[in-house]
Amino acid sequence: GNSVTQMEGPVTLSEEAFLTINCTYTATGYPSLFWYVQYPGEGLQLLLKATKADDKGSNKGFEATYRKETTSFHLEKGSVQVSDSAVYFCALSDVGSEKLVFGKGTKLTVNP
Amino acid sequence: DAGVTQSPTHLIKTRGQQVTLRCSPKSGHDTVSWYQQALGQGPQFIFQYYEEEERQRGNFPDRFSGHQFPNYSSELNVNALLLGDSALYLCASSFQVPGANVLTFGAGSRLTVL
């Protein structure tokens, strides 16, 4: 079945540091790929998405590129802020399905 | 514009009891999905409701059941609670546009089973 493996945390960075959170997936066909963010006490929010190979999703300075050859969708940000502290989830869905398969999540803490 | 609202926010039950969780979708949305998020884990898909019918189901036992009402709101019922059912239950809503795949999540209902 489909699965998502993401870098386990927690990850602690200083403000303005570079962020990478690794995500790889196993799926048949060509799934859509997502990054969701969960702030304390809140629901998951869609951060970015990509629906086909070589697509780059971007939002709020975060970006991720759909790499079919390496089955990866790594999340990056050039300069993190304290407000980026949250749990980040990589997820996929099959074509035509809204069912999401999530990774275990990576907790990011950014210190001033 | 209210997003997805869930109730109750927190609840505590004992083993063997039954629980009902409620979800009101975002305005304009007609589809509701439920996810279970155990502590330190990613959410796992329970089922999805559209047009008052269960359309898709994950690997959860029949103790988990649901309902969708004509106003698109939804309930998740869990019978014969086990300790392992302790989790954050997330509701997500969407509008049926083919290929859209964009869900709006609520903040969740945290269930503790003692």
A44 → closest Cβ in B44, B90, B98? B90
Backbone phi, then psi, for A82, in 5-degree steps? Answer: -55, -35
Residues of A in contact with B107 (CB under 8 A): 41-43
Residue with tokens 């990866």: A72
What pLDDT, on a 0 to 100 scale, did the predictor assign at position B98?
Answer: 58
Lowest mean pLDDT among A3-7, A20-24, A26-30: A26-30
What pLDDT, on a 0 to 100 scale, did the predictor assign at position A98?
Answer: 80
Which of A100, A104, A106, A107 is most worth mutating to test chain B (most B CB atoms within 10 A of its CB)? A100
Put simply, the answer to whether B42 touches A44 (Cβ < 8 Å) is no
* Residue A28 confidence class, pLDDT cut points 50, 70, 90: confident
* Residue A43 confidence class, pLDDT cut points 50, 70, 90: confident
Q: What percent of chain A has pLDDT above 90?
A: 84
Q: Which of B6, B13, B10, B7 is nearest to B84 (CA)?
A: B13
- Whether A29 has its CB under 8 Å from any CB of chain B: the answer is no
Contact B58, B90 (CB under 8 A): no
B9-48, pLDDT tens digit by residue?
Answer: 999 999 999 999 999 999 999 999 999 999 989 999 999 9
Contact A107, A9 (CB under 8 A): yes
- The pLDDT of B63-78, averaged and rounded, is 97
Structure tokens at B74: 């939804």
* Residue A7 confidence class, pLDDT cut points 50, 70, 90: confident
How far apart are alpha carbons A63 and A58 in whole angstroms? 4
* Residue A40 confidence class, pLDDT cut points 50, 70, 90: confident
DSSP summary character for residue A72: B
- Whether A97 has its CB under 8 Å from any CB of chain B: the answer is yes
Please identify among residues 2-61 of chain B the ones whose CB lies closer than 8 Å to any CB of chain A: 3-4, 31, 33, 35, 40-45, 48, 56, 58
B88-102, pLDDT tens digit by residue?
Answer: 999 999 987 755 667
Backbone phi, then psi, for A27, in 5-degree steps? Answer: -160, 155
Residue with tokens 């969740």: B108
- Whether A99 has its CB under 8 Å from any CB of chain B: the answer is yes
How far apart are alpha carbons B97 and A96 in whole angstroms? 10
Q: Which of A107, A50, A26, A35 is nearest to B40 (CA)?
A: A107
A41 vs A57, more confident: A57
pLDDT beyond 80 at A102? yes
Distance of alpha carbon A62 from the chain centroid:
9
A53-86, pLDDT tens digit by residue?
Answer: 999 999 999 999 999 999 999 999 999 999 999 9
Q: Which of B16, B47, B12 is nearest to B31 (CA)?
A: B47
Contact B76, B46 (CB under 8 A): yes
- Per-residue HEC secondary structure of chain B comes to CCCCEEECCEEEECCCCCEEEEEECCCCCCEEEEEEECCCCCCEEEEEEECCEEEEECCCCCCEEEEECCCCCEEEEECCCCHHHCEEEEEEEECCCCCCCCCEECCCEEEEEC
What pLDDT, on a 0 to 100 scale, did the predictor assign at position A42?
Answer: 84
How far apart are alpha carbons A8 and B18 in whole angstroms? 34
Backbone phi, then psi, for B87, in 5-degree steps? Answer: -175, 175
